[in-house]
Amino acid sequence: MALFTNQATLSYNDNVVNSNIVTGEIVQVLTVSKTALSDTYERDKTITYIVNIVNSSDSDFTNLSINDNLGEYSFNSGSLVPLTYVNNSIRYFINGDLQTAPTVTSVSPLIATNITVPANGNATVVYSATANEFAPLDVESEITNTVTVNGASLSSPITANETITLETGPILSITKALCPLSVPENGTLTYTFVIRNTGFTEADNSDDLVIRDVFDPRINITSVILNGVPLSSGTDYTYDQSTGEFVTVAGKITVPAATFVQDSVSGAYSVTPGATTLTVTGTV
């Protein structure tokens, strides 16, 4: 809301008389809210944002624009932007009905124009952004981005913020490789499993990691090695020769946390995932 004042003057016979001062108030009838569909972020994770603009008046608001700073924050003598707009992801709804997408005139900050909010209705703008190399990775980091609605028909811009926090806990992925790719009958092959952790928390025994695989063709296991240390059948893993099912004992496998370094000049973060390697060797 905005207050305004004004005063009249009366001139006569070289005299000037001032009126009383009147005060009025312009009540904003547009409100804006912003919601992220995920409360947390991690490197390269895509976050979808929903911006909802509600009009409580009996008149349409046209030719509005939204400006999202994508979490811009100060660094050294400049600034960094931790989110990257996903091209062509923007969607625009009026009272729930999909409309032609607004015009994106800038991607950093994200600026979208030609937005209308109908009388006693709402407009919703949905778009996605990806956490990039400038997304902070320090403990308890967060990204707060601000959306601003502008327009000539507004007495002042309206804003809304949304904050997401750095994902805690391990973030795991697994790859599997076979060597050699061509194996002669009664030959030896090795399956290599690599578990990577891009989170900044170790995956420890309490996380109960289990690798399960069904080898086809079935193999006669000759060795199972975890990070260079031989494992024992029954104690560390089980293998059903009749079905080919191989299962590690829950909690036997752990994966160290990822580490990161922030460049002191560019501000970019580089991440080195933690990794654990399991090899299973046998004959076919």
Asked whether residue 5 carries a pLDDT value surpassing 90, the answer given is no
Same domain, 58 and 127: yes
CB 258 within 8 A of CB 169: no
- In this structure, is residue 277 part of a structural domain? yes
Asked whether residue 3 carries a pLDDT value surpassing 80, the answer given is no
Same domain, 148 and 181: no
Same domain, 238 and 144: no
Same domain, 48 and 161: yes
State the chain's mean pLDDT as an integer.
94
- In this structure, is residue 16 part of a structural domain? no
- In this structure, is residue 3 part of a structural domain? no
Residues 6+ apart with CB under 8 A from 235: 249
Token pair in block for residue 130: 């990806």
pTM: 0.82
- For position 254, which CATH number holds? 2.60.40
Task: Please name the residue that has the structure tokens 């804003």.
Answer: 159
CB 209 within 8 A of CB 253: yes
Same domain, 150 and 197: no
Residue percentage of the chain with pLDDT more than 70: 98
77: nearest Cα among 266, 268, 270, 269: 266
Same domain, 37 and 150: yes
Q: What are the distances in angstroms from CA 180 to CA 150, 213, 282? A: 62, 18, 12
Same domain, 83 and 201: no
* Dist CA 256 CA 276 (whole Å): 8
232: nearest Cα among 207, 251, 249, 213: 249
pLDDT digits (tens, 9 = 90+) for 127-151: 999 999 999 999 899 999 999 999 9
Same domain, 120 and 214: no
pLDDT digits (tens, 9 = 90+) for 35-87: 999 999 999 999 999 999 999 999 999 999 999 999 999 999 999 999 999 99
Same domain, 184 and 79: no
276: nearest Cα among 219, 218, 213, 209: 209
Number of domains in the chain: 2
Phi, psi of 77 (to 5 degrees): -95, 5
- For position 88, which CATH number holds? 2.60.40.740
Domain that includes residue 160, residue range: 26-166
Mean pLDDT score, 177-194: 93
pLDDT digits (tens, 9 = 90+) for 209-268: 999 999 999 999 999 999 999 999 999 999 999 999 999 999 999 999 999 999 999 999
- In this structure, is residue 9 part of a structural domain? no
Task: Please name the residue that has the structure tokens 């312009």.
Answer: 26
- In this structure, is residue 95 part of a structural domain? yes
The distance in angstroms from the start CA to the end CA of the chain is: 77
Confidence of residue 93 (pLDDT cuts 50, 70, 90): very high
Neighbour count for residue 231 (Cβ, 10 Å): 19
198: nearest Cα among 258, 276, 131: 258
- In this structure, is residue 18 part of a structural domain? no
